[in-house]
Chains A and B, each alone.
Chain A
Amino acid sequence: MRLLIVEDEPTLRDQLQQQLQEQGYAVDVAIDGREGLYYGEETNYDLAIIDIGLPHINGIELIRQLREKGQHYPVLILTARGEWQDKVEGLEAGADDYLVKPFHHEELSARINALLRRASGHASPQLKFGDIVLDTAAKTVSRNENLLELTSFEYKTLEYLVMKAGSTISKTELTEHLYDQDFDRDSNVIEVFVGRLRKKLDPDNSLKPIATIRGQGYLFNLKQDAH
């Protein structure tokens, strides 16, 4: 998952970036509204975190412009004053949730998870596909109630495919949404991850959760259980 942070306060920006990278997100940062607009227009992020009080273009205006340019990814606004006027204006401009500064890391993670889940159309953090259960809050995967040991990148690859279940994801898209920009983008690495994932999820090769669409990419094709 690739996130955009637009925040002008350097300490908070660095903290956010570090925290979210540790949680396995690919993170881009912009230091003001103009840069935020540039990044936000260029890249199809999975989520953006935008501070309301930004130089050059304020957060509310930035969100409005991004929405006008047709970007639909979820937006979480950060507000220092916590006034309803700001929150309502931000939500009216196209944001999806707000967080009042200062906030806990856990609070931010919960909001991000909820927004990403919502964007993929899943209501609960626990996604069940028969025997396989993906817990997006705990970032764990289990099969028949046995926790699978996945590396962070394996988990991220699976989560992304699950979030986009039903559509074919190219290797390029996977790389873009999983890696920070300066990481190695060798697409063979993706093949390796997917190969290992298949082995761990489906050792006896009975479920075939991840299909390879030749020349196009991968498709997570298990159906989610009804609630």
Chain B
Amino acid sequence: MKLRSLASRLLLASALLLPLFLGLTGYALNLGFEDSLEAAEAEGLQSHVYLLLGAAELEGNTLSLPEAFAEPRFSQLNSGLLAEVRDQQGQQVWLSESGRLLVDELNTRQAKKPASNSPLRSGGTQFFSEKLADNPFFIFNHDVSWETSEGQERVFRFTIFHEQSLFIAARSAYRAQLWRWLGAAAALLILMQWLILRWGLQPMKRLAAELKAIESGHHEQLEGEYPREVQQVTDNLNAVITREMQQRERYRNSLSDLAHSLKTPLAVLRGSLGRAEEREEQIETQVQRMDEIIGRQLQRAITRNLAPQNKVRDIGQIAQRLALALGKVYREKDMRFEAHVNEDCSFNGDARDLMEVIGNLLENAFKYGHKHVALSGNIEEDVLLIRISDDGPGIEESLQNDILKRGARADTAQTGQGIGLAMATEIISGYGGSLEVSRAALGGAEFIVSLPR
């Protein structure tokens, strides 16, 4: 099964981990509680031993203890607390009133289980659990040595038995309480986590809703305030959306441009259908016009790439390649080409676009120049300037503006392919740049391309 929602993934993970974590916590708490209960028990039994020791007296060889104690449970039958004293041979020397019904059990125990009755050692204590008459008991041994009036040393073992029923009751009460609280904590934690997730994922929901609104055309941008992590995504999304919209806008413009500009030549063609003598010439002109229009739009559609993150650094190399290729086409001119491109020159955009611009301008320079073409590139006030000049006839000042207009050609005598300069202008303006013409130091025309960086 694949979980598609982030919230359910996180919830499932914590629903699996939380019981494990809480179980371990409960186990540790329970263990700690038992340990401290038992420690308290051992301490209590030890103090009972002291009570007995304080009351015990050695007369001759026999140890005597009084009938009644400050602790009434020793005198009460079946009180759950009993005490016995045995000598080195394991003989019972004394038994509290409360244990009278268990005499046999105690003797059997002594006989049966010497293991729990390790050899006597003066001052030694032992604390452990054991079953007596099918009931669990805490047992505390304390070995004491007495010096008789003859100066003999005698060792006795004082043993306190305490039934565990109270302890067990306390422990299960604690456990029940513990699990109830832990369960409640788990439920609360999962609930809180669910709320936190809902709250934390709220921006995502909003984002989805906003995207839907954009998709259905109600919005143009993601406008909401988002947390920093999501904001990066929305900023990028906005950039993509803007680019898409610009692209769409451009396609729409191109299409309507194309449709409108093709209609005129078609109208002319239709108008000339009746007059035979005009027909051929008109068809020729209009077909050429339509071809140029299509070519321009096609080129626009193919080459334009709005990705601004591209950086073209090898402007000099592009120019050299183009010049080498053009040198081949205009071989008989034996053109001298010089390129000076500063090292810091770079162009933010598509390398093919740059190639189109430089290619079209260089082609003109090679076509109209006599012996010499020069290209320079440098950065001035964060604008990339590319100058292309030749030693040809140049362009008259009065024509310099016209020549930059679409498709206009100052010289119709030269066979050319028409739309090169217009293409260059179009691409340059697409990047927010400009193209100027002036007279070159070489004597011919100089084209100056300015492209913002």
Q: Which residues of A are interface residues toward B (Cβ below 8 A)? A: 81-85, 87-88, 91-92, 96-98, 100, 102-103, 106-107, 110, 118, 123
Q: Which 6 A-B pairs have the closest CB atoms?
A: A84-B359, A91-B325, A88-B325, A84-B355, A97-B329, A91-B328
| Interface members, chain B 370-406 (any A CB < 8 Å) | none
Q: Give the size of the chain B interface in residues (CB under 8 angstroms).
A: 22
Q: Are A100 and B322 in contact (CB under 8 A)?
A: no
**Which of B295, B303, B325 contacts A92 (CB under 8 A)?**
B325
Q: Are B322 and A84 in contact (CB under 8 A)?
A: yes
B358: chain A residues at CB < 8 Å are 84
A216–B321 alpha-carbon span in the complex (Å): 44
A170–B399 alpha-carbon span in the complex (Å): 55
A98: chain B residues at CB < 8 Å are 329
Rounded to whole Å, the gap between the CB of B111 and the closest CB of chain A is 108
Q: Are B299 and A88 in contact (CB under 8 A)?
A: no
Q: Are B329 and A96 in contact (CB under 8 A)?
A: yes
A105–B358 alpha-carbon span in the complex (Å): 28
A82: chain B residues at CB < 8 Å are 295, 299, 417
Nearest residue (CB) in A for B294 is A102
Q: Are A83 and B302 in contact (CB under 8 A)?
A: yes
| Interface members, chain B 335-377 (any A CB < 8 Å) | 352, 355-356, 358-360
Interface presence of B298 (CB below 8 A): yes
A96: chain B residues at CB < 8 Å are 328-329, 331
A13–B324 alpha-carbon span in the complex (Å): 30
Interface presence of B244 (CB below 8 A): no
Q: Are B332 and A123 in contact (CB under 8 A)?
A: yes
A118–B352 alpha-carbon span in the complex (Å): 31
Q: Are B417 and A100 in contact (CB under 8 A)?
A: yes
A88–B325 alpha-carbon span in the complex (Å): 6
A96–B332 alpha-carbon span in the complex (Å): 12
| Interface members, chain B 289-314 (any A CB < 8 Å) | 291, 295, 298-299, 302-303
Give the total number of A-B pairs whose CB atoms are below 8 A apart: 51
Rounded to whole Å, the gap between the CB of B175 and the closest CB of chain A is 81
Q: Taking each of B321, B329, B355, which has the highest tally of chain A beta carbons within 10 Å of its own beta carbon?
A: B329
Interface presence of B415 (CB below 8 A): yes
Rounded to whole Å, the gap between the CB of A95 and the closest CB of chain B is 8
B302: chain A residues at CB < 8 Å are 81, 83
Rounded to whole Å, the gap between the CB of A121 and the closest CB of chain B is 10
Q: Are A87 and B359 in contact (CB under 8 A)?
A: yes
A102–B331 alpha-carbon span in the complex (Å): 24
A82–B415 alpha-carbon span in the complex (Å): 16
A30–B298 alpha-carbon span in the complex (Å): 28
B356: chain A residues at CB < 8 Å are 83-84
Q: Are A85 and B355 in contact (CB under 8 A)?
A: yes
Q: Are A118 and B331 in contact (CB under 8 A)?
A: yes
B321: chain A residues at CB < 8 Å are 88, 92
A107–B352 alpha-carbon span in the complex (Å): 27
- 6 more A-B residue pairs beyond the given contacts A82-B299, A84-B356, A92-B325, with a C-beta to C-beta distance below 8 A: A82-B417, A83-B302, A83-B355, A100-B295, A110-B415, A118-B332
**Which of A85, A92, A102, A107 contacts B291 (CB under 8 A)?**
A102
A102: chain B residues at CB < 8 Å are 291
A84: chain B residues at CB < 8 Å are 322, 352, 355-356, 358-360
A85–B355 alpha-carbon span in the complex (Å): 7
A218–B405 alpha-carbon span in the complex (Å): 55
A107: chain B residues at CB < 8 Å are 415
B417: chain A residues at CB < 8 Å are 82, 100, 103
B328: chain A residues at CB < 8 Å are 91, 96-97
Nearest residue (CB) in B for A106 is B415
B298: chain A residues at CB < 8 Å are 81
Nearest residue (CB) in A for B328 is A91
Q: A100-B417, A107-B415 are in contact. Are A83 and B352 (CB under 8 A)?
A: yes
A123–B331 alpha-carbon span in the complex (Å): 10
A88: chain B residues at CB < 8 Å are 321-322, 325, 355, 359
**Which of A83, A91, A92, A106 contacts B329 (CB under 8 A)?**
A91
Nearest residue (CB) in A for B298 is A81
Rounded to whole Å, the gap between the CB of B361 and the closest CB of chain A is 11
Could you list 13 examples of A-B contacts with CB < 8 Å?
A: A81-B299, A82-B417, A83-B299, A83-B303, A84-B322, A84-B355, A84-B356, A88-B359, A96-B328, A96-B329, A100-B417, A106-B415, A118-B331
A84–B302 alpha-carbon span in the complex (Å): 12
Nearest residue (CB) in B for A95 is B328
